[in-house]
Amino acid sequence: MKQIHVHRPYLPNKEKYKKYIDEIFESNWLTNNGPLVKKLEKRLEKYLNVRNVVLVSNGTMALQIAYKVLNLKGEVITTPFSFVATTSSLVWENLKPIFADIDKKTLNLDPKNIEKLITPNTRAIVPTHVFGNACKVEAIEKIAKKHNLKVIYDAAHAFDVKYKDKSVLNYGDISTLSFHATKLFHTIEGGALIINDDKLAQKARYLINFGIENQESIPHLGTNAKMNEFEAAMGLCVLDEIDNIKNKRKKVYQIYEKELKGIVSFQKQNTKANRNYSYFPVILKNEKELLKVQKALNDKQIFPRRYFYPSLDTLNYIEPKQKCKISRDISKRILCLPIYVQLEEVIQKRIIKTIKENI
């Protein structure tokens, strides 16, 4: 029996991808800010309606470059309910994550919990638009301005999310995206920084290329975080088909929502923002119920994901030790169900039926 996982990478038209590969072979330009990378950046700027897209090798590097671009040192207030990279990237860059607990309904960092954690050592706030659900960006912006803090949004799940008809990626000093193969929009591996400030965007371009400004000048400490041409080619192909991708995922999402309403709890959506249908999380009554549902699905070769689990404030490399009760509670009873373009309706009905039979 075929295994069903939370995501299945979307593969675009093969012939179109082959044409881009032919271009790469003809130009013999494989990496180092090649023509396809430049083309994808421009197309994404237009599609997302943002000023500067800086493509990088993955979403984690996007976060690390963002911290370097803004010269962050000291403490950073962030969410304990996110993918581990949101926290590990901070620790990797010798920053100290200070966790503010989440809103139990939206699952995003709760702005009400931020100010009490601000100290003279606080330099920034790093919230996540969890499962693409837009944060309370205006409340966070107000706090940041009051205390002169930078804001970097982990927007890994927020591709094409708009808040009040404006790209949510335009909020904060920098937003970062992941273009991993399982994402709504992908480049096999990859990511991006969205930066409104042109000077900061240029600095980011130096930092992802070893700090090199030109062939005779290396004024910055940099690393290698460049996207290659083969990945950009995939991105160009997927972008051509993105509206179809979103529409098909929307249908899967709506079937889950209709059939499971009143049986499980859903994430409360920001009413001023659109959905991009990148994930379908369900919240069970308790961990015991979650484990029962998970086992029943696994027995049918269906593998939902405990996402996000565990709560990041429980990581053993975090100091000082902190406890975020809501995040820990939610993380123990949340499952993300399979959602992707190729998901067959008969499989989705089996998933729904199994959940109903085990609650």
pLDDT band at 152 (very low <50, low <70, confident <90, very high): very high
pLDDT band with cut points at 50, 70 and 90 for residue 214 = confident
Sign of CA dihedral 11, 132, 307, 142: positive
Q: How many residues does the chain have?
A: 359
Pairing of the two strands 96-99 and 150-154: unpaired
- From the list 119, 64, 146, 135, the residue with the least C-alpha distance to 320 is 119
| Cis peptide, bond prior to residue 120, ω within 30 of zero | no
Average pLDDT over residues 114-139: 98
What per-residue confidence (pLDDT) applies to 240? 98
pTM more than 0.95: yes
pLDDT, tens digit (0-9, with 9 covering 90-100), for 275-318: 999 999 999 999 999 999 999 999 999 999 999 999 999 999 99
The confidence score (pLDDT) of residue 39 equals: 98
Mean pLDDT calculated for residue range 61-78:
98
What is d(CA 72, CA 54) in angstroms, rounded to the nearest whole number?
19
Cα–Cα nearest to 175, from 167, 187, 186: 167
pLDDT by residue (tens digit) across 1-44? 689 999 999 999 999 999 999 999 999 999 999 999 999 999 99
Average pLDDT over residues 94-107: 98
Q: What is the pLDDT of residue 330?
A: 98
- Whether the predicted pLDDT of 325 surpasses 80: yes
Phi-psi region at 172: left, alpha or beta (left = phi > 0; alpha = psi -120 to 50): left
DSSP line for 292-339: HHHHHHHTTTEE-B-TT-S-GGG-TT-SS----HHHHHHHTSEEEPP-
- Start-to-end CA distance of the chain, whole Å, equals 25
With contact defined as beta carbons under 8 Å apart, do 182 and 9 qualify? yes
**What pairing do the DSSP bridges indicate for beta strands 162-163 and 166-167?**
antiparallel
**By the 8 A CB rule, do 59 and 177 touch?**
yes
